[in-house]
Structure 1
């Protein structure tokens, strides 16, 4: 475990501002599931996300960011994302170590904390058709809206080359 303190939402916003990326954030009561967050839909336009932090038998980690209602077949998704085996969910300790977030706050913005390049980021092609993508800003008590192309630009600026793949059915 490294002694690096995970970045905060403010660090994230400063980073986005530095890249000239437009973003807006709405604070709300903490939400832990897609079901709990549905109440926010009318207030926050765009594609809302569900994030799956998974690993294969070789301890390669992946973050799948998909539209909230999409279905991912965990029995076969490994064939699409380049995993060495079927995937299982990554442990909360690795989630914190690599992405700087706890379960319930998983987000594509966690790329800002993955300075070691331990995680492969997968953005579902269907989600990326949305003009705006909504993700937690490293905590589940707010939602940050960002352009889908800007999300890719953000990830590239953190040293990640996200894969845009159709991983949902």
Structure 2
């Protein structure tokens, strides 16, 4: 458990006056783990993809509903990138300060250079509550999509709401 990372998230939410609930649980490494633990009954679980462009100059955090399979080939055109691939564990730690299994939009709070571009799927915006890890996979925070997006924008990273293509 990364208590410091969690506290950073909670402090930020409180500073912004955002209402949220927390579900504590055993470590969850995948969205499937979260669904099997019935966390999806409390809100829509978000799936997060950390991607990079062909030369590794641009990095992206793609946030969609847990059940959406993203067409990465088409996505590159939609976001104006070269070929996309998943960022390595090393890049994930360098840019978002997190290990695989704990990635969430709140990881943006660790991106001091504010150079990771965030793309939220329009489908997720229609959900009443969204569940994401607070930079630690032993808890899930539930909040409105608008408040999640506001938290990312408040940090200063580019954040865009788009229709993310499905495979």
Please say whether Structure 1 and Structure 2 have the same fold, judged by a TM-score greater than 0.5.
Answer: yes
Partner of 2:118: 121
The DSSP-based 3-state class of the residue aligned with 1:9 is helix
- How big is the shift at 1:87? 0.2
5+ residue gaps, structure 1, are 1-6
2-side partners of 1:45 and 1:166: how far apart? 24
Contact 1:76 1:86 in 2 (8 A): no
After superposition, residues 12-161 of structure 1 pair within 5 angstroms as 12-41=9-38, 44-59=41-56, 60-83=58-81, 85-161=82-158
2-side partners of 1:135 and 1:148: how far apart? 11
Aligned residues: 163
2-side partners of 1:92 and 1:141: how far apart? 19
Q: CA RMSD in A?
A: 1.6
1-side partners of 2:89 and 2:40: how far apart? 30
The DSSP-based 3-state class of the residue aligned with 1:163 is strand
1-side partners of 2:6 and 2:13: how far apart? 10
2-side partners of 1:43 and 1:166: how far apart? 22
2-side partners of 1:67 and 1:160: how far apart? 21
- How big is the shift at 1:39? 2.4
Q: Runs (4+) of structure 1 moved beyond 2 Å?
A: 39-44
The DSSP-based 3-state class of the residue aligned with 2:135 is coil
With normalisation by structure 1, the TM-score equals 0.90
- How big is the shift at 1:138? 0.2
User: Against the structure 1 CA distance between its residues 18 and 56, is the aligned structure 2 distance closer, same or farther, given a 3 Å change threshold?
Assistant: same
2-side partners of 1:67 and 1:104: how far apart? 16
- How big is the shift at 1:41? 2.9
Q: Which has the higher helix share?
A: 2
With normalisation by structure 2, the TM-score equals 0.91
2-side partners of 1:43 and 1:135: how far apart? 11
2-side partners of 1:97 and 1:16: how far apart? 24
2-side partners of 1:44 and 1:11: how far apart? 26
5+ residue gaps, structure 2, are none
